[in-house]
Structure 1
Amino acid sequence: MTVANLVIRVGTTMPYIPSQVSLETTVQKVAYEQALHDFALTDLFTHLQNCFSSEFDSQHITKPESEMIAALLVQQLAKNLDSHLVAAYLKAIRQGKEEVVPEPIAMEYPESTDLPAKFPTATPIPRFIYGDRLRLCPVSIDGEVETDTDTGRYIGHYYAYAPHHCHWMWKYVIWLDKDSVSASWCVATIAWEDELEAVTQEESIS
């Protein structure tokens, strides 16, 4: 018996559905839901259902309506795809090499990976001062936040393209403390400016 044969007519008794067909249907549904999640359509549906406007505030958007609007938006995206935007993102991804992008890229043109034309006059001033004691910000690993991270002295910095943010920013060279987490196998490390935080004077004394 095929899925096409399992048509249930109004007023008739529900036919017997073999377990194999039920399993296939379940697997297909799971795969479908996963595909929606992977391509961020689940989030799009949610945003659409929570969308309000003075033109339709009196009636909440239903799920079927949000799915229809999402389909129309995807169709419009396909028809009006900006090749320059695609090329900019592709270049940013390729420049990233082995680095992992931890957050979704905002829908804006990434900066060029070429050195900024106004460097160094329009370059942001580094947040930290030479000699500052810094710590790598704790990150979440498998749902658990690190309790100990590397600490050390800021001994240098350079301006580089940050592929995870798609723009240029400062990267710091940190000479690790002797009791730092990674001190047993390296003497220094590098980190982006937004990955560092200052060690307070009280912490330095302790």
Structure 2
Amino acid sequence: MSYADIAAKGPKQSPEEVGCCISPLIMCQWLTFARRTRAAPVPSIEHSEESSSLVDVDSPHVSSVNSDYKEQEIKTDTQAERIEHEAEDKARAAEQKTEAAAAETKKKAATKGKQVKDSLKKDGQKLSENRDNPVVIGNALIWGLATVTIGYGAYKKQSEGKLDWQLAGTVAGCVGAFAVADYFGSKWLLENKYPPK
């Protein structure tokens, strides 16, 4: 089947289409002539919506940036570096502040520790000076015997299986009441009968 047969079966051309047909020979001659007489294409700049040229005055060269430049939070490399340096400075300042606070706390703890040590030393010295005072000797004996007695009693009750929280609470209450009575009694004796040195 030839091209002419296939074209004959298709839709018929309108009179305008038939009139504008040019023979292939004429078309070839016209194209050859057009090539010789046509001017060279004019160079042009392609316009794109994706980027626009903006100048970063801090950089040594001109660079293109995205068209969403104005919506960007950080617009230039210099601005990004500045923000990075500011963040480093803030971190450094926070670190120095923390170190200063730690040094201050350490200094306060050392001072407080020294005060406690001096206070204990002073109390120990006072006790050492009054070791022959009858009130001090009596308190040492009473509390030593009370500790041994309570410990032995707790051991016996535990071995018998009779030690419970009610018994332990009762003994603790009695020890507390005795401590209060001993404190006021010793205070009265030290002020009135046997003054400390």
TM-score, length of structure 2 as denominator length: 0.21
Which structure's CA Rg is the greater one?
A: 2
Considering fraction of residues, name the structure with more strand. Answer: 1
**Bigger helix share:** 2
RCO comparison, higher one (Cα < 8 Å, 6+)? 1
